[in-house]
Copies of this chain bind each other. A is one copy, B any other.
Amino acid sequence: MCELLGMSANVPTDICFSFTGLMQRGGRTGPHRDGWGIAFYEGRGSRTFHDPRPSCDSEIARLVQRYSIKSRIVISHIRRANRGRVCLENTHPFTRELWGRHWTFAHNGQLKGVKRLPLGAYLPIGSTDSEHAFCWLLGQVRERFPRLPREPRTLWRFIGERAQALHRLGVLNFLLSDSRHLYAHCSTSLAWITRRAPFGEARLSDADMTVDFQRETTPDDVVTVIATRPLTTNESWNVMAPGELVVFEAGEVCGQGGSVAAADRATG
């Protein structure tokens, strides 16, 4: 089962997500009865599609499968509701604006007592722990950096520190983006793989989800896919360590932090 799925690429990539497995079970049986959502960045803008109650005839899923959306950053989430009722406002990913950028957040896990963390500039619209955690995290960033810091690493380090604080409350696997960078934080399960053109076998899949890469690529294309679990068995995925934060830009790792040193990262 794949709860989080993300992509970072150096060119707008026509990645195609199929939710066949999910849709077949959707709303009937299995753990995914509580909806899914996906955000595609196009430049500074982003599109988000939410399906609080997936079903085998979901129009939204059909659109996402069929519609060619070229994107550099994608964040997708399949929900198992453990906090907050099943409704649109509780469906990931969540979005807010900071510094004139769209921020998007999707989370897997439970965080005990997260709602006791005091909020600042951002308030939740729904009732999930996850949205509360996102509002807290982004509020902290905003308070610390009223403007976008010049040195990206300063921001990454700060997000890593705050992610640590949340991580202490429970399980915190998340994907976060500001339209330029994609942050992946691992608490229990997150893995990533970078593919470079030519892509060869263009398909990644598990029981729920299939990722098809665009067949026509340029020799310089770089695409990283991040998923709850490796989607292929014949490739070396970078399995992230608990507490690890990795930052991607244009398909490449550009920063690492969190409570676990880069050296501890298990690769392959």
Contacts and interface: CB of A to CB of B under 8 A. Distances in A.
Given A67-B60, A87-B43, A124 B100 contact: yes
A43 B88 contact: yes
A135 to B, nearest CB: 9
Nearest to A124: B100
Interface in A79-110: 87-91, 96-97, 99-102
Given A59-B67, A63-B63, A125 B88 contact: no
Contact of A45 (B43, B45, B50, B121): B50
B88 A47 contact: yes
A158 interface: no
Contact of A97 (B67, B88, B96, B102): B96
A150 interface: no
Contact of A121 (B87, B90, B121): B121
A46 interface: yes
**Majority DSSP secondary structure for residues of A touching B:** mixed
A66 interface: yes
Interface in A21-71: 42-50, 52, 59-60, 63, 66-67
B97 A46 contact: no
A263 to B, nearest CB: 38
Contact of A122 (B87, B97, B102, B126): B97
Contacts of A45: 50, 52, 87-91, 125-126
Nearest to A123: B100
A189 to B, nearest CB: 28
16 contacts: A42-B87, A43-B87, A43-B89, A44-B88, A44-B126, A45-B52, A45-B87, A45-B88, A45-B90, A46-B88, A47-B49, A48-B48, A63-B63, A89-B102, A100-B124, A121-B121
Given A45-B88, A45-B90, A99-B123, 14 more contacts: A42-B88, A43-B89, A44-B89, A44-B126, A45-B89, A47-B50, A48-B48, A59-B63, A59-B67, A60-B63, A60-B67, A63-B63, A100-B123, A102-B125
Interface of A: 42-50, 52, 59-60, 63, 66-67, 87-91, 96-97, 99-102, 121-126
Enumerate the 10 nearest inter-chain pairs by beta-carbon distance, A residue then B residue, closest first. A45-B88, A45-B89, A100-B123, A59-B67, A42-B88, A44-B89, A63-B63, A44-B125, A100-B125, A102-B125
